[in-house]
Amino acid sequence: MFFRPVNLAFFCCALSFTAMAVEPSPELKTTSVSTEVLNAHYAFYQGDWGSAKQLIKSQSKRSGSNKESLALLQLQAMVWVAQEEDGKATELLLRLQKQHNNNAEVYFFAAGLWKELAHQVSVFSKIKYYSRAVEAYIRAGELAPNNAKYVRKQASSYAQPEMFGGQEGMQKPMLPKIKTLDVQYGLVASMDLAQNEQDHKKANQLAEQAVSEYPDSFLLVERAAQMQWTLENDNRAQQLFMQACNFPAQTASDRMVWITSCYTVVYLSLNTDTNHALAVTAMQRLLSVNTLKTAENDQAKLYLAEMANKAGNKSLARTTYRELAKESVDKKIKKNALKKLKQLT
C-alpha cells in the first residue's frame, strides 16, 4: 500500500494542504527569524498564505545567514506547492536537494512536498513525483542513520512498489534497528510493517498496545488512529483521532497532522452518521487554537454548525450560522450559512 493518504476530499475547502506535514528547518530554533517563520507556518496551515509571502518578500531584501535563507526557501516551496505552481516548486526542490545533498532534513522536507505534488500533477507525471518522494525519504534515512524518525520513513519507503523506487524485502530487516533507536518509533515501524503485510490481527494488536503503553504520545495515538481507520474500525478510529485532537496543539510539522486529526473526527462522523456530538467537540477544540479570520477556519465553523445541528444542539447551530452569515470572509460560506440559518428558523 503506497502512502495511504488521509482521504479528506470532503474537506477540500478547509484542508487544501492536508498532505503537507513537512519539517521546517531545525535551524529556526536558533535564528533571529525563527518566530516569524514558525508563525508564518502556522498561519499558512490555517489558510493564510499572505503572512508567508510577505515574510519571504521582506527577508529576501535583507542580508541573512545561509540557515535563514534555507528556512525561507523551504517556506517558498510550501507556498508554491499550495498554489499549485508545480513547475516553480519542482525547480526549487531539485535545487535545494542539489545544494544540500548531504542534509538529511532537506531531503525529508522535500519528500513531503514531492508526495503532495504527486497528488496535483497529471496522471502521466504521478509516478515520477511519487518516485521522487520515495527516493528522498530513503536518502534522508541514509544520511541520518541514527534518526529514528527518518529511518522509519526510509524503511516504509522501501516497502513501496518497485515502480516507485521501493525495494522488496528491505523494510523488515530495518525494524530491530528502529526499535533500538527509539521505542515509540519502533512501534510505529511495527505498525507500518503489519499494514504492508496485511496482517490485520497484528496491526490491531500493535495499535492498541501503542495507546495502552503510551497514552501521552501524540505520535503513537495518531498512528494508531490511522491504523484503525485503515482496518475500517471507524468508531475506534474516531475515538483515537479525538484523543489526538485533544493533545496540546503540536508544533512544527506535526501541527498539520494535529489539525487533520480534528477534521477526521468530523469526516468519520459524517461517514458513519454517528457520534455527531464528538465531532462538535473536535471542531470546538480546533477553533480554540486556529483563530485567524480565514476561509479555512470559517469552513471549520460551518462543519461545527452542521455537526451541532445533527447532534440536536440547535442553539449552537443557529449561533454559528448567524456569525458566519454576518462575518465570514468567504462569500460562498456566507451564502451557505444564511441558507442553513433560514432552514432552522
In order, the DSSP letters of 27-90 are GGGGSTTHHHHHHHHHHHHTT--HHHHHHHHHHHTS---HHHHHHHHHHHHHHHHHTT-HHHHH
Q: Give me the pLDDT at residue 31, please.
A: 45
Q: pTM here?
A: 0.89
Cβ proximity of 219 and 188 under 8 Å: yes
Of 6, 287, 233, the closest CA to residue 119 belongs to 6
Closest CA to 184 of 209, 154, 166, 159: 209
Structural contact between residues 225 and 264, judged by C-beta atoms closer than 8 angstroms: yes
What are the average pLDDT values for consecutive 10-residue runs of the chain, which has 345 residues? Answer: 36 44 48 75 93 86 62 94 96 97 97 96 94 98 98 97 94 98 98 96 98 98 98 97 96 90 97 95 98 97 98 97 97 97 91
What is the distance between the alpha carbons of residues 16 and 12, in angstroms, rounded to a whole number?
A: 5
Contacts of 122 (CB under 8 A, 6+ apart): none
Structural contact between residues 279 and 265, judged by C-beta atoms closer than 8 angstroms: yes
Going from the N-terminus, what domains does the chain have, and what CATH number goes with each?
1-158 (1.25.40), 275-345 (1.25.40)
CA dist., res. 324 & res. 335, Å (int): 9
- Please enumerate in sequence order all residues whose Cβ is within 8 A of that of 123, keeping only pairs 6 or more positions apart, or say none: none
Backbone angles phi, psi at 144, to 5 degrees: -130, 70
pLDDT at 329: 97
Q: Are 28 and 34 in contact (CB under 8 A)?
A: yes
C-alpha dist (Å) from residue 170 to 55, 129, 156, 221: 42, 21, 9, 26
Coil/strand/helix, residue 244: helix
Only one residue has cell 530487516, namely: 173
CA dihedral in degrees (256, 260, 262, 267; nearest 10)? 170
Please tell me the distance from the alpha carbon of residue 268 to that of residue 260, in angstroms, as a whole number. Answer: 12
Helix (H) or strand (E) holding 257: helix 254-272
Instruction: Tell me the C-alpha distance between 137 and 17, whole Å.
Output: 20
Q: Radius of gyration (Cα) for the chain, nearest Å?
A: 21
Rounded Cα gap, residues 100 and 92, in angstroms: 12
Rounded CA-CA distance 113/77 in Å is 8
